[in-house]
Chains A and B, each alone.
Chain A
Amino acid sequence: MVNATNLFFQFLDSFAFIVLSAIGLAIIFGMMDVINLAHGEFIMIGAYGTTLAANAGVPLPVAIAVGVAVTMVVGLILERTIIKRLYERPLDSMVATWAVGLALTQGARIVFGNSLSSIGVPFGAITYGEFSYSMYRVLLSGVAALVLVGAYLVFTRTEFGVRARATIQDADTAQAMGVETDRMYTATFVIGSALAGLTGALYAPTMAIVPGMGSSFLVEAFVAVVTGGSSVLLGTTLAGGTLGSINALFSNLYGTFMGKIALLFVAVLILRFLPGGLSGVVTDLRERMERESV
């Protein structure tokens, strides 16, 4: 018997995990056509930063900020030194960022050992009947929603956002109109890194802090990016919603592993039958409605 509340919480959890795993990667890919294969390591850095700060006595919210800040710095360095040389070479930038990720993972192992002691999960659990669910993980769905809304506002309502979107649309024209495209790319990459760091920071209390922890997020991140389609924020949201509900349903009925399999299966279907991705469906619908109303 499926408990409705339990299923709902599981959905929120999945939604949060998928959205937060993907958002940093999706923004960088959507804006710069660069796949940052060090994405997992950025998440790891955010987690490590947060854990180290928290273990040193810093209150959790501040520790999370620390984690994010450290990741942003790493992202900035990476972009200025390596990424900027590889803008027109998407496959090469994949290999290069992968190389960096390798070095970072092993570097973390060398410097910090095989694991760090984890921080406890705050807020305890909600109990309902004979079930209980971690309040923290449910609340992360709220954070995920805030991140999506925040990103939307930044990219549509701020000066920066408008300039950034102009750069994606047509970098040459944007540059001719005085937009410093290089700065745009750097800023975008730093934002993407910050979001990845945030993910690591947020999930740090719930996971084992090991150098390879970033790879736990990769499948969801890549799948969301690939099925999302060309509209970054819409795609990530839809992916989180669709894949999250499938994952929650099957996990609830058959266990976490089957949940993941179901998620992948649906992703395969989307890839096969929806060439424009999930956001493509919405964009098509919108266009068709416009056409009909003309």
Chain B
Amino acid sequence: MADHHPTGIKRWLFTTNHKDIGSMYLWFSFIMFIIGGAMAMVIRAELYQPGLQFVEPNFFNQMTTMHGLIMVFGAVMPSMVGLANWLIPMQIGAPDMALPRMNNWSFWILPFAFTLLLSSLFMEGGAPNFGWTFYAPLSTTYGPPSTDFFILGVHMMGISSIMGAINVIVTVFNMRAPGMTLMKMPLFVWTWVITAFLLIMVMPVLAGAVTMMLTDRHFGTAFFDAAGGGDPVMFQHIFWFFGHPEVYIMILPAFGVASEIIPAFARKKLFGYSSMVYATASIALLSFIVWAHHMFTVGMPVAGELFFMIATMLIAVPTGVKVFNWVATMWQGSMTFETPMLFSIAFVILFTIGGFSGVMLAMAPVDFQYHDTYFVVAHFHYVLFPGAIFGTTAAVYYWLPKWTGKMYNEKMGKLHFWLSMIFVNLTFFPMHFSGLAGMPRRIPDYNMMFADFNMLASIGAFGLGLTQILFFGIMVKTIWFSKEKAPDKPWDGATGLEWDQLPCPAPYHTFDTPPKVS
């Protein structure tokens, strides 16, 4: 089979190959992760001690806003799409994604969208400074001029995500190899299909919200302006109707990764395959009816608070099923603890801790205390960093031999893991306490009584930031400077079409003829 492909810049600009596009998404998301991380370093440097030492408050607000936007839309989401592109075709025995040219366009929109967004830092008035949740009227009436570029950037990212999601659904529904029934698919494919449905349903609502923002700002409408008969609270309802499914979009693929890696290193089949599928689908369905738990303090009537509280607590049930199944998979398994497994086990434990603070936040009356404090910041960073990011990191270590034919250095991988483990907890655990003690979110300076917790968190953050440089070094060394070729089956417990039937590295074109599925 001819394995040649165009070379040079043209290869990357015009490729329709899912492996190339997957790699581009992954490298792009890593660059965004570093940029967003640099912004976090600015935040934590300012918050290292009480007082205003390094930045002006308005610039601090730009950092918190852009950190959120870049991490959510530039780091986490594209990294998941990168994994989808690499893995889904190989795992279902398809030669490529269903719509390869749209796939290329989905990726290439992103560098332009983020150049636009990041360039706002240099515009007059500065970058968006109203939080990644851009509530009206702070964003509509009082936002800087760059807000309109922010809106355009969000539209572009949304189009990219929607096209990517359509591609995933059509690929999985129409291009599975004969014998690959839905209930035989790897769980990563299942979680991504469900994620794709969430994406096509809620990204358009976000597009509607930012369009309403744009017309309020420039075309005389008053969707969110009370003076014109509109309602700022309605902005929150529309935003969070998108926003809550969005956070499940960010985590479900990581659930799928854990469900692949843990069985491989426990050398035992995933416990409760079908309950894992149903639990994921339940989480996705429930995610549509809980949005107002982000708005408990907005002045909702008691009936509303009760409904959203109970629905939110309900989501803990299928999530608990998944955690239980991962643990049950390990139970009496024959485990070894290579780097992917370490990140996956840490994912299960630390994501669960994030889930506990989530259940606390779900209780409407006590959320009156926690809302807009660092307790919320602790919660979502636990589910996003040791959750989504550790999940993606585990996936990269696990599948790297398949993608590149090279094996990473296990000692260095473990070092990366243990440093990440220590620093991620040092950064975010103290935030539970400063939040409970009353420290508000999104502030550049704080009361002396929060000083110790903030110092610990900042030290942790600096360590966590440096650790990513180690990760980058490991990847570069492995991919370009490693002489050791990975064996075709680097993980003896790994199963699935990509491990059973393809060598390491996988050829540029795979499964041009459909494989036999047992």
A-B complex is real: no
Q: Which residues of B contact A (CB under 8 A)?
A: none
